[in-house]
Chains A and B, each alone.
Chain A
């Protein structure tokens, strides 16, 4: 994309160009960050709206429909309301860490997007250690919750922080181990190459890419990754960190206004991030599931590879997130720990061995 924009900017600035040239890489990176983050934050706003609508329909209600046509301006109204609320500081709180908490929650949630490719070449930093970067950054996200819970100097936030630190570490392990099989079959840590590796295979040759993606041969890992992703973002039915009926809102009890909104933003940005990561690792990213339909005139273009497939897959996974929130009751705390440590971790360890043997055997489908 830079190749198209650069001559245009050069022509626009004319004689001023030599002055801008040294800082051009910085400017261009900033532009790319804005191009990624503004749609992301807009998606976060409308994800909350969509969530309320979906859960409303599932519970035979209408959902928000007062603000704007079909209630479409509801997230804007919510945002404005939060923006104008005062941020209260409890007297016994650790002021500096109380402010740092929301920042530490949202910074990793946004920083992780740096290596997510949306389409071939549509990525801020196409680094070779992309998967490692994602694992490292997402493991830092828990600090926001811990720091907020401790700095509030209050009972329920502290319970929330304790629960968060135990739960997120447990499910990070199963997520990381689940990813190892993906790395084994794609032979790369680069996210673009991981998607590329899924475009090869018997079925992809027939134009039926959907059966060549990682979800089918690594089906148990796909399930483990998706469920751990729900637990990692503290969403229902794994939302004991917030657990309204037990500890009110966990780490967010003492927060108001924009400080609260930042936790909210971080949670939803993380949900979208998990859906993007699942699409890339298991569902072939921007690859088309039915490439053979490209032959159809006029509408065929919709069936070619591209960003629209990535967006569709992400939307489907986000719907799954909302769907299970409306469907399942909250897990009991010891059951969450049991599922993470006694079911998922052994399952992933065994499956790593199975995939290893499979890859070395003559039956291998990864060449």
Chain B
């Protein structure tokens, strides 16, 4: 058996176990961390397929950013595990159907040669083949417009998410750094010129006696 094959089985075994633990772990934080493990091993599998850009982008985007924010939210929630488990049997049929569909689709993709799908990539690449370069060439030439449209859609989603929470509360006491930096000593303090000694008015002096 080739070393690559051993690696493949190692990565896939860990991926499957981690994916199972994501849905069986009792603690949501553990589940999220198992998802991170699954992502890592998926990246390993992609690396074996010589898709180094996709593998590293998976770690960078999903592990490095998405899952960190996910954990950020999950850690702050006080999730009642019993309540979460309640609807399990009711939701199972729908979940199983979706799962079966996904398995079926993956089977069609994986055994594409059998179903004679067109445009299958060659099995082995030349040594100087750069996955990153090929991907970039396709994205910025042939698929430039779809790529731009996809990014604009994402931008719209970002703006929408910001707008949903941007209500401008009246009791907001947030400080603006630019205003704070722009402050001059004059704005905060008034220097008054006066003589060091002031003569007591005659009336006050009388009262003092």
Q: Say yes or no: is B69 at the interface (Cβ < 8 Å to chain A).
A: yes
Q: Which residue of B lies closest to A189 (CB)?
A: B132
Q: Are B72 and A132 in contact (CB under 8 A)?
A: no
Chain A residue with Cβ nearest B58: A136
Inter-chain contacts of B52 with A (CB < 8 A): 127-129, 132
Given A132-B56, A158-B75, A165-B72, output 15 extra A-B contacts at Cβ < 8 Å: A127-B52, A129-B52, A129-B53, A132-B52, A132-B53, A132-B132, A135-B60, A135-B64, A139-B65, A140-B64, A146-B75, A150-B71, A169-B68, A169-B69, A172-B65
Interface size counted on chain A using CB atoms at 8 A? 30
Question: Which one of A132, A137, A142, A166 has the greatest number of beta carbons of chain B within 10 Å?
Answer: A132
A21 interface hit (Cβ, 8 Å): no
- Complex CA gap A333/B167 in Å reads 22
The SS class assigned to the A binding surface is helix
- CB-CB under 8 A from A129, the residues of chain B are 52-53, 56, 132
Q: Are A165 and B64 in contact (CB under 8 A)?
A: no
Within B16-61, the residues touching A (CB, 8 Å) are 27, 29-30, 33, 36, 52-53, 56-57, 59-60
Q: Are B69 and A133 in touch, CB under 8 angstroms?
A: no
Whether A161 contacts B65 in the complex (CB less than 8 A), given A132-B52, A136-B60, A139-B60, comes out as no
Chain A nearest Cβ from B164, distance in angstroms = 18
Tell which of B27, B59, B75, B132 touches A139, judged by Cβ atoms closer than 8 Å: B59
Q: Once the chains are docked, how many angstroms separate the CA of A129 from the CA of B63?
A: 18
> Which single residue of chain A is at the shortest CB-CB distance from B180?
A335
A165 vs B67: C-alpha distance in the bound complex, in angstroms? 10
The reply to whether A334 and B175 form a contact with Cβ atoms under 8 Å apart is yes
Bound CA–CA A166/B65 (angstroms): 10
Task: Report the separation of the CA atoms of residues A69 and B133 in the bound assembly, to the nearest whole angstrom.
Answer: 55
Interface residues of B in 101-138 (CB under 8 A from A): 130, 132
B174 touches A334 (CB 8 A): yes
Tell me the smallest distance from the CB of A159 to a CB of chain B, in Å: 11
8 Å CB contacts to B: which residues of A86-110? 94, 97
A-B contact pairs, 17 of them (CB 8 A): A94-B27, A97-B33, A129-B56, A136-B64, A137-B59, A139-B65, A140-B59, A142-B68, A143-B68, A146-B71, A150-B71, A158-B75, A162-B75, A165-B72, A169-B69, A172-B64, A338-B177
Name the CB-closest residue of A to B27: A94
Q: Any chain B CB within 8 A of the CB of A147?
A: yes
| A168, B63: Cα distance in complex, Å | 13
A128 touching B130 by the CB < 8 A rule? yes
Residues of A46-98 at the interface with B, using a CB-CB cut-off of 8 Å, are: 94, 97
Report how far A11 CA is from B75 CA in the complex, Å. 58
Q: Which residue of B lies closest to A137 (CB)?
A: B59
